Amino acid sequence: MDTNQHTQPWAVTALPDLTGRTAVVTGANSGLGLATVTALAGAGAHVVLAVRDPRRGESAAAAVNGSVEVRRLDLADLSSVREFAAAWHGDLDLLINNAGVMNIPEARTKDGFEMQFGTNHLGHFALTNLLLPHITDRVVTVSSGAHRMPGSPVIRFDNLDLTGEYAPMTAYSQSKLANLLFTLELQRRLGAAGSPVRALAAHPGWAATNLQGHDASFLRRLFLRLGNRLLAQDSEAGALPTLYAAVQDLPGASYVGPNGMFEMRGAPALVGRSDAASDPAAARRLWSVSAELTGVSFPELTAPARV
């Protein structure tokens, strides 16, 4: 018997055979998204790279071994989200809501929402609900340890766009908290509908990607650049919690992250979340507000999805 079989950390080599299964990965042309695509395609899945810039997507896809295709999706434009979903036909086994923007200067989506909340949460909220009748297995949404900071954030229901008080890190933290509350309420609704589909969340720890390069603060960009060199995992390691959530037999609403110090790096494992991210009343309220803002909500699931 191999005495190490129960002690080795989970790695991409532990992915099961995904032949015949289809996945969508948002924000898939670089960083964590591309690492996720590469791993899933390498395990046999057909993977759709859902990207804002199809030319960059095609360039990324050309380097992936396996069955992949590129489709345009701009999460900061709800008309693009609707077009992507309307063009989908057939089963979708796995939706990975990976795309995101982080700590950027104040900006608005095409529909007028604060860019980080609009892209990271509202775009994925609409996409998930529009695709849900096709989804057969699970939805994995990428959150962040930043949902805990700064100052134990909560959803600012009185000012979701942070108008007049915008701060890049506050906006990012709110959007990542929203990802976790969305997962919580989505799982509750799936369970109530009798669906076998599961909603889970993951975070990469500190992963060295180009996401940090867009920080609104020059000093933070310098700090993050140094941290990327000294502290961060690479994209492949950062994608492991997402992949773990995508294939392991975990309860709905589970949250996966690195098991190392401060959850910055390490092997994927179930991790905790803030009290604010565990509040079912806030999750229900966020869902109602998101449905009103996007015009999209939980669909009628007339029959349990096929697994």
Q: Is 172 a catalytic residue?
A: yes
Torsion of CA 106, 107, 112, 113, to 10 degrees: -60
> How far is residue 263 from each of residues 121, 174, 224, measured CA to CA in Å?
22, 19, 16
Helix-helix angle 124-131:280-294, to 10 degrees? 80
Catalytic residue among 166, 172, 244, 255: 172
Q: Are strands 67-72 and 92-97 parallel, antiparallel or unpaired?
A: unpaired
Residue with tokens 């993951």: 202
∠111-242-28 over CA atoms, to 5°?
50
Rounding to the nearest 10 degrees, give the CA dihedral for residues 235, 238, 243, 245: -160
Rounded Cα distance, 26 and 28, in Å: 5
**CB neighbour list of residue 77: distance below 8 Å, 6 or more residues apart:** 109, 110, 111
Burial 135-151 (b: 16+ CB within 10 A, else e): bbbbbbbbbbbbbbeee
Alpha helices in the chain (DSSP H): 31-42, 54-61, 78-86, 115-116, 124-131, 168-192, 218-230, 235-238, 240-247, 280-294
Report the amino acid identity of residue 118. Answer: G
- Active-site residues, by number, are 172
